[in-house]
Amino acid sequence: MILVAPSILSADFARLGKSCVAMGDAGADILHFDVMDGMFVPNISFGIPVLKDLNKYTDMPIDVHLMIEEPHRYIKQFAENGADYITIHVEAESDIEGTLKMIADYGVIPAVSVKPGTPAEAVFPYLEKIGMILVMSVEPGFGGQSFMPCAIDKVRILREECNRRGLTDMLIEVDGGINLETGKLVVDAGADVLVAGSALFNADDPASIIAQFKTMA
């Protein structure tokens, strides 16, 4: 089954609650919540107070993608304010194992992400400790960029390694430049969670795009 996760980075922030509810009504499964600190990535987005308020508007699961340095400093706050998944970058954290354990101890699903230049193998040591892998298909920091095809092989390698280890429930999420064409490429390689920002928030009929994503497998 394919899960569709609209990236709210592309939403109109002045109408955020309504836009997120509309995405749920259009068939989306998860809200993708991009947190940026101006250090790990050259952009600043939103954080804990926005997560807290968003949870008053929607029951959809929220997938918090932390593009911040040393995310262990903020796991408690994101977990207590309604994160359902928390994704950390292997490139950003000095204690990856400890941070994943902290996330799981709060009852949140831990996930690990890799930037385009980081090999798939960088995730291998953590596979038994996570429920989802996030493969970046753009350099993190901005919505609306073009898909980088290097993500396709990375998804394939990760799906094969998960299958080899019997981790058949592992979610593999792809984020960046996902549309109907690139989404199909990564689904064929083994991805099952599609993050899409501009492709959904700029669409006239997001429900039709979500429906097409969901029938790709």
Rule CB under 6 A: say whether 65 interacts with ligand DX5: yes
Q: How far apart are CA 90 and CA 208, in angstroms?
A: 35
| Nearest residue (CB) to Zn ion, 65 versus 154 | 65
| Nearest residue (CB) to ligand DX5, 82 versus 197 | 197
Pairing of strands 171-175, 132-136: parallel
CB 44 within 8 A of CB 96: no
| Nearest residue (CB) to ligand DX5, 27 versus 101 | 27
Query: Is 34 labeled as catalytic in the residue annotation?
Result: yes
Candidates 44-52, 101-109, 116-124, 173-181; binding stretch for Zn ion (CB under 5 A):
173-181
Rule CB under 5 A: say whether 37 interacts with Zn ion: no
Q: How far apart are CA 87 and CA 75, in angstroms?
A: 10
Which of 195, 206, 210, 213 forms a contact with ligand DX5 (CB under 6 A)?
Answer: 195
Which of 111, 135, 199, 210 forms a contact with ligand DX5 (CB under 6 A)?
Answer: 199
Which of 37, 93, 173, 175 forms a contact with Zn ion (CB under 5 A)?
Answer: 175
Q: Residue 176 binds which one of Zn ion, ligand DX5, none, with CB within 5 to 8 A depending on kind?
A: ligand DX5
- Which residues, 6+ apart, have CB-to-CB distance to 43 below 8 Å? 36, 141, 142
| Nearest residue (CB) to Zn ion, 5 versus 210 | 5
Q: How many residues does the chain have?
A: 217
| Nearest residue (CB) to Zn ion, 40 versus 168 | 40
Q: How far apart are CA 90 and CA 87, in angstroms?
A: 10
Which of the residues 57 through 116 are near Zn ion (CB under 5 A)?
Answer: 65
Rule CB under 6 A: say whether 71 interacts with ligand DX5: no
Which of the residues 30 through 59 are near ligand DX5 (CB under 6 A)?
Answer: 32, 34
Q: Residue 143 binds which one of Zn ion, ligand DX5, none, with CB within 5 to 8 A depending on kind?
A: ligand DX5
Binding site for ligand DX5 (CB under 6 A): 7, 9-10, 32, 34, 65, 138, 140-145, 175-178, 195-199
